[in-house]
Amino acid sequence: MSVAIEEASPSIHQSRRSGGREARRTVRAAPLSDDINPVRPGLEGGRYRPLSDADLDSIHEAVLTVLETVGFANAIPTCHEALMRVGAEHGADGRIRFPRRLVLETIRTAARHFTLHGQDPRHDMVVQGKRVHYGTAGAAVHLVDVEKREYRESLLQDIYDAARIVDRMDNIHFFQRPMVPRDMVDPADMDLNTLYACVSGTTKHVGTSFTVRENVAPALDILYAIAGGEENFRARPFVSNSNCFVVPPMKFAEDACGVLEACVEGGIPILLLSAGQAGATAPAAIAGAVVQAVAEVLAGLIYVNAIKPGHPCIFGTWPFVSDLRTGAMSGGSGEQALLTAACAQMAQYYDLPGGSAAGMADSKLPDVQSGYEKGITDVMAGLSGLNLVYESAGMHASLLGFCLESLIIDNDMIGQCLRCVRGIEVSDAALSIDAITDVCLNGPGHYLGHTQTLTLMQTEYFYPAIADRFSPKEWNEKGRLDILQRAIAEKYRILATHFPRHVSRDVDDGLRARHPNIYLPRKAMGW
């Protein structure tokens, strides 16, 4: 998405009538192909490194020590059996410990450089190295109603609507379930309907979670049917499982471990998610919080590879921050930004596909506080080269509230973050000696209208879709709208017009016949 740049010269601005200006803006707003778009999925970051090489080595050594000497409690029988089979050790205190050689061998042989697929192949994401992708996530229990300035319980329809909006956002590359449908009372209904709403609302890669093992089988039936068969889904799995297999500090989560095993067996990639909170369920020291998160995720990686060697896993170190004065989570803090960037470095240290969280504003509304919290945390995550930036758009109140309008605002913000990630290309042409010579010696003394300017204006510069770059005069003429008012209007436009049809009516008929507990009304889907 793009809009035109402001005219740079008062004389030119005055000499060109608005009709020509609007026509040029329309032309420049046309979608760009990936080869010339200034921002796109998978740009390489890694320029920002809060940890030195010596720091990374120290954290790694601490991780190996913790896994070998502290280990994990509360393994379910099947988890215990799988880990014992590959060389873990069962202590007299009931904890499972991981010898250094087992940890290192698992890191060496684990899956890496794989693709997270979309239902539409143009949304496929290669997660490797320092390639950056932004997306949603979370389990907010409220939707932010910005027009009433209040929170209400989030509903199934809200999840579907969020998916539809993300489907239209160029800079939000994947959609992980951001809310809990509070109108679903039964956990089985909640898991099934959450998945259905997500995969029906977008062709981008989807992440979701399940409450218990038994809820995975109906979900697999839906996924296999949409893919056109089990073999097709296994070849191109377009859904991953966000799995909190660990209860920090260093305990297995019984129900989530059952889900993990069922998802691995069913061919679903796993986001191995450790979400300790520094100062509460993880050490208050930022380095210590990273150590515990890395140790917990590596234990999960050993677990998955003991079940199925080489199964695709995302290194999901998600340590959160506490405001130590109150104990409340502080997702929009500078410390959160540092933690996320450090976790990205640890994933790169192991050459494993990494995912962590950013953009979790503490602010309750899409206001100035939200803007600086999201901007700081999201851009630092991108600059660090984090492969998958979860919770980067739409989230408020440190994961308690989700806002549809913020998806649209944050799409602009993430575009700016991606432009920072891309950095500055330096080449003979970019050094501009010929252009400087031409303008200074032969031209009018400015670069407006110069061939280089016209060539680079689309490929070198990012233009936001709804952010305001008008002059005060134009802003006044256009009704003096702020960014939130424009986002509200865009939300209503998308929800009134965009009803994805990638799941055919015949397939949907079959799903509803086999799963009568699919509750999203067809009317709400525009059928």
The answer to whether residue 19 scores a pLDDT higher than 60 is no
pLDDT by residue (tens digit) across 216-243? 999 999 999 999 999 999 999 999 999 9
Residue 412 is predicted with a pLDDT of 97
Higher pLDDT, 2 or 387: 387
Task: Report residue 52 CA to chain centroid gap.
Answer: 26
pLDDT by residue (tens digit) across 434-484? 999 999 999 889 999 999 989 898 889 889 999 999 999 999 999 999 999
Q: How many CB atoms lie within 10 A of CB 469?
A: 12
Instruction: Round to whole Å and give the CA distance between 445 and 453.
Output: 14
- The pLDDT confidence band at residue 13, using thresholds 50, 70 and 90, is very low
Q: Identify the H or E element spanning 240.
A: strand 239-243
- The pLDDT confidence band at residue 327, using thresholds 50, 70 and 90, is confident
pLDDT by residue (tens digit) across 47-85? 999 999 999 999 999 999 999 999 999 999 999 999 999
DSSP state for residue 364 in the 8-state scheme:
S
The answer to whether residue 302 scores a pLDDT higher than 50 is yes
Tokens at residue 206, please? 């989807």
Could you give the domains of the chain? 31-114+126-423+466-516 (3.20.20.480)
> Mean pLDDT over residues 409-435, rounded?
95
The answer to whether residue 1 scores a pLDDT higher than 70 is no
Residue 22 is predicted with a pLDDT of 61
The answer to whether residue 29 scores a pLDDT higher than 70 is no
Q: Please give the mean pLDDT across all residues of the chain.
A: 93
pLDDT by residue (tens digit) across 99-151? 999 999 999 999 999 999 999 999 999 999 999 999 999 999 999 999 999 99
Beta carbons of 237 and 268 less than 8 angstroms apart: yes
pLDDT by residue (tens digit) across 150-190? 999 999 999 999 999 999 999 999 999 999 999 999 999 99
C-alpha distances in Å from residue 119, one per residue of 63, 133, 227, 291, 335: 37, 17, 8, 36, 36
Beta carbons of 230 and 217 less than 8 angstroms apart: no
The answer to whether residue 342 scores a pLDDT higher than 70 is yes
For the entire predicted model, the pTM comes to 0.92
Instruction: Return the SS3 of 519.
Output: coil
Instruction: Round to whole Å and give the CA distance between 496 and 164.
Output: 10
Residue 173 is predicted with a pLDDT of 98
Angle at 380 between CA 379 and CA 381, to 5 degrees: 90
The answer to whether residue 486 scores a pLDDT higher than 80 is yes
